[in-house]
Structure 1
Amino acid sequence: MVGLVLEDWASPSRATASGGEYGVLMYCAKIASRAGHTQRIFVAEFRPDSDTQFVSVGIKHVRFWTLAGRALLSKKGVLSSIEEARMQTMLSVAFGANNLTFTGTISGDVCVWKEHVLVRIVAKAHTGPVFTMYTTLRDGLIVTGGKERPSKEGGALKLWDQELKRCRAFRLETGQVIDCVRSVCRGKGKILVGTRNAEIIEVGEKNAACNILVNGHMDGPIWGVGAHPTRDVFLSAAEDGTVRLWDIPEKKMLNKVNLGHPARTVSYSPEGDMVAIGMKNGEFIILLVTSLKIWGKKRDRRSAIHDIRFSPDSRYLAVGSSENAVDFYDLTLGPALNRINCCRDVPSFVMQMDFSADSCFVQLSTGAYKRLVYEVPSGKQVTEQAVIDRITWATWTSVLGDEVVGIWSRNADKADVTCACVSHSGLNIVTGDDFGMVKLFDFPCPEKFAKHKRFLGHSAHLTNIRFTSGDRYVISAGGDDRSLFVWRCIHAPH
């Protein structure tokens, strides 16, 4: 019997579940409600010294709220008589003593409010938008983060006193230029910084030392996940144009390769010495793992590569694309990567591919929701069921087939189950779906609506899922949440 537990490491949200049950149950009841504004509201935050007063900011407005029983009372920000003052779009809010409020604007200014009246503008606190602010009323210091042109004087993180005279500007020394801070928090002599590049950095106030706590993909869904054949490391490929190497026991990112174009799929060679990467623009790249240098690259297609696989004997590379095709390349011919054949008459785009253990066949799951089998490298379709039944598959990532009928729920639409992976032992299959659920089944599961365990954590739309070497972990990738979850497999006694 196998269960999954979400590892506590670099994921931006933390959750554990077993058998579909949450670990914590919370109840919320609505106290009061009222329309806030006709334009978008970006932040609503209670004053740290009050349970009844809060401020909301958004597109060209600031409102000061008071909760009175079940009623919400508000006053809009008044610009008073400050010369040339205009209501700007406000992105962030912080608080000071004596009923002061600070709001950060899209133009880089910080506005100072006494109660609901504007009393001062600190012009160009940042050269770009002030995305985030944080106050500690204990000492009154204010942290701001925004977009900043890099300079010798400082960067996108700044620390101010209550008079908003700049106390210190910090350069975030992480090996690359960081010019955009999106979130800040402060305590015990340290500042936590969330960046546009999906990093969380710890900054020492006294020595300005930077320590990267969390790395992540910064743009678009994470599409590709590839587990190393023997080690507890894995690769992720994403829309942000990077492929990243992660160490599971150390719980950290080991390396990153910038590809220049969005990446859709990634796969290790059987020996773990090469990595194949399929790109959104139809190109694919093979890297040498030890040096991260390009061994070869090719672009025979003009649309996205959805899956890419080495054959178990390391001779062939199969490349499945949006162009209703799977191309075969003979790697023994060298890095020129000349296409030797392709699968014909594929009815739709290729979603997942798996080689047979003897490297003689490949199975496809397609956008037409048909599972097809082809010979390698001739590309001839195999239609005899007796032949298909005798094939032993090296891997199984297809969401289609008689062996996986049970992974589809009663009311499932065709697109609901997005990814799957059978364990190396062949005893279990793990799936991801459009609702953010990871499900664990026995394999095979040929009967409809098979029993399973559900595990919650992702917000929605899983894009990929893989067992790691030895079935010690499961890696799941999220689309909308852009997160990688690491699940530890627990093998309970029968």
Structure 2
Amino acid sequence: MTEFPGTTPTIHIWDAMSKQTLSMLRCFHTKGVNYVNFSATGKLLVSVGVDPEHTITVWRWQEGAKVASRGGHLERIFVVEFRPDSDTQFVSVGVKHMKFWTLAGSALLYKKGVIGSMEDAKMQTMLSVAFGANNLTFTGAINGDVYVWKDHFLVRLVAKAHTGPVFTMYTTLRDGLIVTGGKERPTKEGGAVKLWDQEMKRCRAFQLETGQLIECVRSVCRGKGKILVGTKDGEILEVGEKNAASNLLIDCHMEGEIWGLATHPSKDIFISASNDGTARIWDLLDKKLVNKVSLGHPARCAAYSPDGEMVAIGMRNGEFVILLVNSLKVWGKKRDRKSAIQDIRISPDNRFLAVGSQEHTVDFYDLAQGTTLNRIGYCKDIASFVIQMDFSADSRYIQVSTGAYKRQVHEVPLGKQITDPAVIEKITWATWTSILGDEVIGIWPRNADKADVNCACVTHAGLNIVTGDDFGLVKLFDFPCTEKFAKHKRYFGHSAHVTNIRFSHDDKFVVSTGGDDCR
């Protein structure tokens, strides 16, 4: 199930096995869909919008029909969930919000949660919900408390169930046990995941370890003696209830756009560098994380050396770092600019490092001088910030695409601009990632704004070019692509926008990175 923000959001229901779309609901939620949940039998679906009234809508999704709709709350609603034994009753929680809903024909009726005179209790911002027998409801609050409700009345308060917000809760129907996940200061007794009895009285805490302690859990699920845990840092773990052992299943980037991407020159691996401040090496065949390193600052670009032994990464604060690939230890780093490094490249002869920044410059460094990384030249007369760079095959020239949407060619390492078309025409480029130039006119769609196409990459064989754009599309063209609005194949997988794209060393794979979807 996916929800797409925008002017006309839609909800897509998928078959998890066949991956086929079963239904598509065109929403009345004008600005986007915040949460969706199936009823007990699966026949109904409830959704909540991010419109000003945070409208709640119930659907007969197989027919694509709206059953009922009503404004939910003037503040944000985080979760709307059906009771696990009902097709007519559900609960919504959000910013100082707690409502118990009943679907009556085509009408939605609700009762507000009543706190009454219980000592130390006041309406909190609620982040999560779970259900128990005998019409009990449990809600996790932003201050770490869990509220226990009978019908729509508060009957008990579990103070400091977690030391921070209770982001997620899950009830297992078979035995009634409740899993909570939240923010937790690590102690010998405490843990960010806790398993409670049916009355939230007895508790067992789980320490989660993936080389470092995990303090913040955003999602939990339980079954067959195991708990699945999703963390703030983009990991999914499997925790055994008997031995409390943590098994890391998935590790991915955290919040923040991913702009840095480079594929290894001879192996089926690639590196991604993100605004989350990490760089991660991935195995293309196994589709698994191989290694990761914390950079300390948001990263914007990455490039392997031609021998594959080093990788250079440019940061948003103007710093760049060179890592040894096998260990991800720092070989050298430098900061000669104050603004973001937009692209970074190592020349085919493994000698020069080119660093293109937001300050309308490309700096050159001689890697043969070792880790001192003294700047030996730079490009002048660049009209705007750097978008992409490519070295020539003989390492003598570099082409630079700029934010002024002009492509320039400069000598390496002195930086003198080459303007003679006859000279430029004779240059053989080692790579081509430029979105600009006569060779790629056809990649631009009709009525496109200048910023609509973000990235491009030509195959090593030089026969095709692939692009990523602001509409979440990956497109494949013939190369060179000299006729306007050229024929192409389109591939879907991202929401808006695609930030970077690369072919693998043997052109068998295409790797793309996303902005808003952070993947």
Both proteins in one fold, TM over 0.5: yes
Are 1:166 and 2:202 counterparts?
yes
Cα pair 1:78 1:118 within 8 Å, conserved: yes
1:338 is matched with which residue? 374
The Cα of 1:83 is off from its aligned counterpart by 2.4
Cα pair 2:13 2:21 within 8 Å, conserved: no
Cα pair 1:172 1:178 within 8 Å, conserved: yes
Aligned length: 466
Can you list the C-alpha shifts for 1:245-269, whole angstroms capped at 9, x where unaligned? 1112222111111111111111100
Can you list the C-alpha shifts for 1:312-367, whole angstroms capped at 9, x where unaligned? 11111111000000011111122211111111100000000001111111111100
What amino acid is the match of 2:23?
Answer: M
Q: Distance in 1 between matches of 2:102 and 2:14?
A: 34
Q: Distance in 2 between matches of 1:417 and 1:298?
A: 31
Counterpart of 1:37 in 2: which secondary structure?
coil
Counterpart of 2:267 in 1: which secondary structure?
coil
2:363 is matched with which residue? 327
The Cα of 1:219 is off from its aligned counterpart by 2.8
Cα pair 1:15 1:457 within 8 Å, conserved: no
* Residue segments in structure 1 that go unaligned for 5+ positions in a row: 1-12, 17-21, 484-494
For residue 114 of structure 1, the aligned residue among 134, 140, 150 is 150
Cα pair 1:422 1:429 within 8 Å, conserved: yes
The Cα of 1:274 is off from its aligned counterpart by 1.1
Cα pair 1:15 1:456 within 8 Å, conserved: no
For residue 187 of structure 1, the aligned residue among 209, 223, 232 is 223
For CA contacts below 8 A with separation 6 or more, give which structure has more relative contact order.
1
Q: Distance in 1 between matches of 2:420 and 2:13?
A: 47
1:24 is matched with which residue? 21
Question: What does residue range 391-410 of structure 1 map to in structure 2 within 5 Å?
Answer: 391-410=427-446
Can you list the C-alpha shifts for 1:367-408, whole angstroms capped at 9, x where unaligned? 000011111122111111121111111101011111111111
What amino acid is the match of 2:435?
Answer: V
Can you list the C-alpha shifts for 1:128-165, whole angstroms capped at 9, x where unaligned? 11000011122101000011111111301000111112
2:252 is matched with which residue? 216
What amino acid is the match of 1:392?
Answer: T
1:492 is matched with which residue? none
2:490 is matched with which residue? 454
Can you list the C-alpha shifts for 1:416-450, whole angstroms capped at 9, x where unaligned? 11111111111111111111111111111111111
| TM-score (normalised: structure 1) | 0.92
Question: What does residue range 27-38 of structure 1 map to in structure 2 within 5 Å?
Answer: 27-28=24-25, 29-38=65-74
For residue 191 of structure 2, the aligned residue among 155, 158, 170 is 155
Q: Distance in 2 between matches of 1:411 and 1:469?
A: 34
Cα pair 1:14 1:457 within 8 Å, conserved: no
The Cα of 1:239 is off from its aligned counterpart by 1.1
Do the aligned partners of residues 15 and 294 (structure 1) sit closer, same or farther apart at CA in structure 2, a change above 3 Å counting?
A: farther
Are 1:248 and 2:284 counterparts?
yes
The Cα of 1:286 is off from its aligned counterpart by 1.3
Do the aligned partners of residues 41 and 419 (structure 1) sit closer, same or farther apart at CA in structure 2, a change above 3 Å counting?
A: same
Are 1:144 and 2:180 counterparts?
yes
What amino acid is the match of 1:291?
Answer: S
Cα pair 1:398 1:420 within 8 Å, conserved: yes
Q: Distance in 2 between matches of 1:194 and 1:347?
A: 45
Are 1:423 and 2:459 counterparts?
yes
1:384 is matched with which residue? 420
1:41 is matched with which residue? 77
For residue 97 of structure 1, the aligned residue among 97, 109, 133 is 133
What amino acid is the match of 1:364?
Answer: V
Counterpart of 2:101 in 1: which secondary structure?
strand
Percent of pairs identical after alignment?
Answer: 73
2:89 is matched with which residue? 53
The Cα of 1:23 is off from its aligned counterpart by 4.7
For residue 473 of structure 2, the aligned residue among 437, 445, 448 is 437
* Segment drifting more, 303-312 vs 165-174: 165-174
Q: CA RMSD in A?
A: 1.6
1:125 is matched with which residue? 161
Do the aligned partners of residues 257 and 460 (structure 1) sit closer, same or farther apart at CA in structure 2, a change above 3 Å counting?
A: same
Cα pair 1:80 1:119 within 8 Å, conserved: no
Do the aligned partners of residues 38 and 456 (structure 1) sit closer, same or farther apart at CA in structure 2, a change above 3 Å counting?
A: same
1:6 is matched with which residue? none
* Residue segments in structure 2 that go unaligned for 5+ positions in a row: 1-11, 26-64
Q: Distance in 1 between matches of 2:91 and 2:14?
A: 30
Cα pair 1:282 1:321 within 8 Å, conserved: yes
2:503 is matched with which residue? 467
Moved over 4 A (4+): 13-16
